[in-house]
Structure 1
Amino acid sequence: MTTFSAYGMGPKGFLVNRPLNDYEREHHFDVKRRASDRMHYDMSLIKLNSTFVECVDKWYSMRGFVAMVGTTFFAVALYAIGAGIYLATTMSDWFFAVAALIPAGVALFVTKAFLSDAFTYTHYPIRLNRKNRQVYAFRRDGTVLKAGWDEFYWTIYNTKLGMGGGDLNVMGHLLDKDGATVKESIGLSLVDAGEPGRQNQLMFFEFFRRYMEEGPGPTLEALKPVPLIMLPGVDKEKENWLFGWELLTASLKGMPLLQLLLQVFFLPISLFRWIVMRTSKIPRWPQWVEDECAIEPGDPWVRDGRHRAGGLPG
């Protein structure tokens, strides 16, 4: 029987205690072989140095959306509850009061969804340490998953579980002793769809694979002429409204007309994203993680929120 993990945003998280599906088996990555000749990092990087690279999780780019949808449905449900109570009292027909229990259930559900977005953590960082070959992932409950880079079953996950047509993202699964049952999962940030999306996932994973296998120098050299633009210090301070709006708009980079037309959605989502970030805590790695990921003094490959020349790519 499948269950849901508590990792990342959402009351459900990721499906665990389930067998690998055919799509995951077909798109399994071999960390010793290049996934693509090209690569990119999807504006997901918090820190990069000779010891580790740290990135945001799958849920980061969609923060604010769940809160906005939840608030909208809560308002509709609240109106329906009020209307039911009003009709029940004015018409002396308690059928309407009983009927109001349905929107009350909806209100409870969307409140839970809202609270999975707001009043949580601003992001759930994932840190890949190339020196000790360990991966650290910040869970929703504030605990940390630690496992070997080579222990993970890295693959592309399809939200339609192998049927095609769903959203795609790179997942790292920890498997049971049988080598087929998923026990815990982490999700990297890029979410895409279709065959172009699959190619993007290959290039995205290749960035992290090459960093872990070859180091920061060869990785950044191979990235050229694409500039390395880091996120704005989200490990130290909460993002402002402008950055959230820029990030949402940049999701359609290269399509200026769509960027303009979809402001009717991006603007309200950016407002709710700001609310989510204001009400959430910045995750802090426990000291034992920082000790295991100590950066050498004078490391020439240190990159962080200070390295943002050029801003977000349009």
Structure 2
Amino acid sequence: MSGFVVDMEGRFRLTKKPPFLTPGYQAVGQKLVDVKGIHETVPLDKYKNYDVPLHPQQTVVQFNSTYLETTGRNERRRGDAVGWGLCLGFVGLSVSNGILYLIVKSTTDFDIVSLSIGLILAFSMTLFFVPLINVLSTELFTTRHSPIRFNRKTRKVYVRQYNRKVEVYNWDDLTFFIAYINEDKDIRAVTFDKDGETITGMFALAFQDEVFDKSLISYFEFIRRYMEGDDQQLKEVKEAIRYIYPIHEKRETPLMSFKRLILNEVHHDHENMEYPERTFEFHPVTLVVLPLLALRYVGRVISMLTSYRHQFSKAIEAECQIDPNDPYDLNKHLPEGNLEQNNQPIWKTIVYSVGIIIATIIMLFIGAFIIDMIGAARPHGDYPSMVDKLWYVIGLGWLS
């Protein structure tokens, strides 16, 4: 059975339908207990005040007294599809080149058997590239983020799904729960049909975690208290935010791409990511995956360079008008400690930039060393050293 890769229920999964024919999550039309990939659910009560700290987890894009806008569920993994897709695409093109050579040679030699094999392989590669293009389309030439906007005045939620459709939900109609899925856990919001069982809509909140339910509840309470709280609680929600991620206004810089990338790698994401200086912890095993981080980083940068700003419809924006004098508008009044401060000292920018360059070079050398180790295991042949070749380029040996 052929399948198409779509970004649903958290990450890439196979479905019989291509993404442009799939109206939202695969769960639509099913009962919750029948949804594949969800192994367990923990109900969340949006009318209950959870006694936990509020953790925005660096997901806030816009905040004011009218609406709260966050990133989509997969923002912190942005670029993975491009990085891996380009890697697989390179392998696919290399194989395709060999297949093309086989077809041309068999045609010249009138070798029907080889020609038949070549044509079958060529058809097989077509089946390989179709889902690959589908994967790349989720992160290339699309919006820079997939916003989830909570309007506390109209009590509506606007969600930009991964099929590029914007869905509008009534907050009071949503049911929330923690979903245990294959890779980790996240928070789902669903709407049901009149029977109270058949799903009519589903989306995931921005934060996911694989360690503790409490970290997910802290994030849920941050969203819940914004929508359900009084003026005092609105102030508490505002004060919990230390970082605004202004992806709606400007494209992510390579420096910011690097910062966002390592949030999942060298930080405890089950703690409060608003204070990354407290959650940082580097493990030596991270050195092993540095080449993969380099691949993901390149993929994220390319993804951002090819993407455009998301814009809601005029009707939605009309429902989300902000008071020009709103004291809660954190996009006008950046919270203290915000990582995107315009007045950030130049020395910090220089240090970060140099650090990224050094880290990238280290990643490349580790990747080259691993390739050399694999090559050394070959039983025959004199395998050229990738480390030597890389040093020749980095050390400017080609200038001498």
TM-score relative to the length of structure 2: 0.68
Give the Cα–Cα distance (whole angstroms) in 1 for the partners of residues 263 and 221 of structure 2: 22
CA contact (8 A) 1:249 1:259 kept: no
Q: Deviations over 1:233-272 (max 9, x none)?
A: 2111111111011011122322223696244332331221
What does residue 319 of structure 2 align with?
292
What does residue 85 of structure 2 align with?
70
The percent of aligned pairs where both chains have the same amino acid is 23
CA contact (8 A) 2:138 2:162 kept: no
Secondary structure (helix, strand or coil) at the match of 2:157 reads: strand
Q: Deviations over 1:66-90 (max 9, x none)?
A: 1111111111112112212223433
Q: Pick closer, same or farther for the CA change 1:24–1:76 going to 2, 3 Å.
A: closer
Among 283, 291, 299, the residue aligned to 1:257: 283
Among 207, 211, 218, the residue aligned to 2:233: 218
What does residue 281 of structure 1 align with?
308
What does residue 15 of structure 1 align with?
26
**Structure 2, unaligned stretches of length 5 or more?**
1-5, 13-18, 268-279, 341-400
Q: How many residue pairs end up in the alignment?
A: 302
What does residue 172 of structure 1 align with?
189
Give the Cα–Cα distance (whole angstroms) in 2 for the partners of residues 6 and 282 of structure 1: 22
More moved, 142-151 vs 170-179: 142-151
What does residue 242 of structure 2 align with?
228
Shift of 1:39: 2.3
Q: Tell me the amino acid that sits aligned with residue 186 of structure 1.
A: F
Output aligned runs, 1:32-111, within 5 Å: 32-91=47-106, 92=111, 93-94=114-115, 95-111=117-133
CA contact (8 A) 1:216 1:301 kept: no
CA contact (8 A) 2:84 2:296 kept: no
What does residue 128 of structure 1 align with?
150
Secondary structure (helix, strand or coil) at the match of 2:207 reads: coil
More moved, 252-261 vs 284-293: 252-261
Q: Pick closer, same or farther for the CA change 1:308–1:242 going to 2, 3 Å.
A: farther
Greater helix content: 2
CA contact (8 A) 2:57 2:207 kept: yes
Q: Deviations over 1:149-185 (max 9, x none)?
A: 111111122224xxxxx42111111212211122221
CA contact (8 A) 1:9 1:59 kept: yes
Q: Deviations over 1:172-226 (max 9, x none)?
A: 11212211122221211112114x2x221111101000111115642553786x6
Give the Cα–Cα distance (whole angstroms) in 1 for the partners of residues 205 and 293 of structure 2: 23
Q: Deviations over 1:13-39 (max 9, x none)?
A: 632222112868841211111345222
What does residue 163 of structure 1 align with?
none
What does residue 250 of structure 2 align with?
237
Secondary structure (helix, strand or coil) at the match of 2:172 reads: coil
More moved, 287-296 vs 52-61: 287-296
Shift of 1:142: 5.0
CA contact (8 A) 1:9 1:140 kept: no
Higher RCO, 1 or 2 (CA under 8 Å, sep at least 6)? 1
Give the Cα–Cα distance (whole angstroms) in 1 for the partners of residues 95 and 305 of structure 2: 30
More moved, 81-90 vs 252-261: 252-261
CA contact (8 A) 1:36 1:202 kept: no
Give the Cα–Cα distance (whole angstroms) in 1 for the partners of residues 285 and 65 of structure 2: 37
Give the Cα–Cα distance (whole angstroms) in 2 for the partners of residues 297 and 214 of structure 1: 22
Secondary structure (helix, strand or coil) at the match of 1:128 reads: strand
Give the Cα–Cα distance (whole angstroms) in 1 for the partners of residues 290 and 51 of structure 2: 34
Shift of 1:141: 5.6
What does residue 384 of structure 2 align with?
none
More moved, 246-255 vs 257-266: 257-266
Q: Tell me the amino acid that sits aligned with residue 317 of structure 2.
A: E
Secondary structure (helix, strand or coil) at the match of 1:100 reads: helix
More moved, 180-189 vs 81-90: 81-90
CA contact (8 A) 1:122 1:281 kept: yes
CA contact (8 A) 2:155 2:172 kept: yes
**Structure 1, unaligned stretches of length 5 or more?**
161-165
Secondary structure (helix, strand or coil) at the match of 2:206 reads: coil
Secondary structure (helix, strand or coil) at the match of 2:337 reads: coil
Output aligned runs, 1:182-221, within 5 Å: 182-194=199-211, 196=212, 198-215=213-230, 217-221=232-236
Secondary structure (helix, strand or coil) at the match of 1:189 reads: strand
Q: Deviations over 1:92-150 (max 9, x none)?
A: 31213322322231122111211121111111111111122111112446543222111
Q: Tell me the amino acid that sits aligned with residue 247 of structure 1.
A: R
Secondary structure (helix, strand or coil) at the match of 1:298 reads: coil
Matched, 1:302 2:329: yes
Q: Pick closer, same or farther for the CA change 1:259–1:239 going to 2, 3 Å.
A: farther
Secondary structure (helix, strand or coil) at the match of 2:58 reads: coil
TM-score relative to the length of structure 1: 0.85
Among 272, 276, 295, the residue aligned to 1:268: 295
Among 145, 150, 173, the residue aligned to 2:172: 150
More moved, 22-31 vs 80-89: 22-31
